[in-house]
Structure 1
Amino acid sequence: MSSEQLAAVTAVTRAPSPRPAARATPAQLDTTTAEQKAAAAKAPETSEVKLGTTVASLGNPTEGGFWIKTPLVKARGVGRIRNPENGKSAKVDLIPLDAPASGGSQVSLPALQLIGVSLTDLPVIEVFKS
């Protein structure tokens, strides 16, 4: 087989490159309403207990709502997260995460946005239980 024939066969049998997967934007994934965001941004309760600090990363962006999965809690509850860099906070559902306390936490997309954190950052945040 000549090199020209081999090139023709290779060109015909090579699979086409896959199309890049469509990527959703944070705005498309955030399904919370303006009312939900306003409620989550309300002032903290006075009967809170600080559970500690944790490194936060973006959790599953398709899971809606305001939540944190953290090893700082052993049972589900209600609480608040606070970004000490800017003082912004959000009321969240506290969800236990089976990991070492130093292992970090996963935070919902709308909660990270509400406290002013870039979705690619790994900030240290404060966690409170109501």
Structure 2
Amino acid sequence: MRRWPPAPKAAASCPASAKSSPRKPKRKRGERSGCGRDGSRCADPRASAKTAAQFDTTTTAQKAAAAAPPASAEKKLGLTVASLGDPTQPGFWIKTPLVKSAGKGRIVNPANGKSAKVDLQPLAGPASSGSQVSLPALQLIGISLTDLPSVEVYQN
């Protein structure tokens, strides 16, 4: 016969790294640390969000910072097919197989020249596979959420 709720797991099953890791700083409920390009925090969308406007929790200042021209030299990583990523993840980011480790960069819509500064996040798969882009980043560079356009990816 099973007991409900199940008995807690023994402390020995906890990895050593979890025991000694420092505590993360507290933040307000519904905020994610450092998801804005200007270092500010972004609020998570509400659970009741249904429209693109409700999922986009970035501020005007965060959008302006993401749209600013690059301040340093960049390296072009390549062209990738962009699709809408998880709309519940706030901020400006791209998950792409063109990078092997997280970093900062920029995406450009070659059709209109608009660009957005983004966090580059690795995505498993061959470099020829597509990428996932955040909702605010797609909107900033003028791409419809249902399109599958090619975007240029640059790394700082």
* TM bucket, shorter chain: 0.7 to 0.9
Confirm or deny that 1:51 pairs with 2:87: no
- Code of the residue aligned with 2:137 in structure 1: it is A
Kept after mapping to 1: 8 A contact 2:108/2:114: yes
Confirm or deny that 1:105 pairs with 2:131: yes
Q: How many residues in Structure 1 have an aligned counterpart in Structure 2?
A: 109
Name stretches of at least 5 consecutive residues in structure 1 with no aligned partner: 1-21
Task: Name the structure 1 match of 2:106.
Answer: 80
1:2-81 superposed matches below 5 A: 24-81=50-107
- Code of the residue aligned with 1:70 in structure 2: it is T
Structure index of larger Rg = 1
Matched residue SS, 1:57:
strand
Matched residue SS, 1:35:
helix
Task: Name the structure 2 match of 1:16.
Answer: none
Question: How far off is 1:23 after superposition?
Answer: 6.8
Question: How far off is 1:46 after superposition?
Answer: 4.0
Question: How far off is 1:45 after superposition?
Answer: 3.1
TM-score with structure 2 length normalisation? 0.68
Whole-angstrom distance in 1 between the partners of 2:49 and 2:72: 41
Matched residue SS, 2:76:
strand
**RMSD, aligned CA:** 1.1
Confirm or deny that 1:94 pairs with 2:120: yes
Whole-angstrom distance in 2 between the partners of 1:114 and 1:89: 7
Kept after mapping to 1: 8 A contact 2:108/2:141: yes
Matched residue SS, 2:81:
strand
Name stretches of at least 5 consecutive residues in structure 2 with no aligned partner: 1-47
Task: Name the structure 2 match of 1:116.
Answer: 142
Equivalent pairs: percent with the same residue? 71
Question: How far off is 1:44 after superposition?
Answer: 1.8
Whole-angstrom distance in 2 between the partners of 1:53 and 1:45: 21
Whole-angstrom distance in 2 between the partners of 1:100 and 1:73: 11
Question: How far off is 1:60 after superposition?
Answer: 0.1
Matched residue SS, 1:103:
coil
Question: How far off is 1:99 after superposition?
Answer: 1.1
Kept after mapping to 1: 8 A contact 2:49/2:55: no
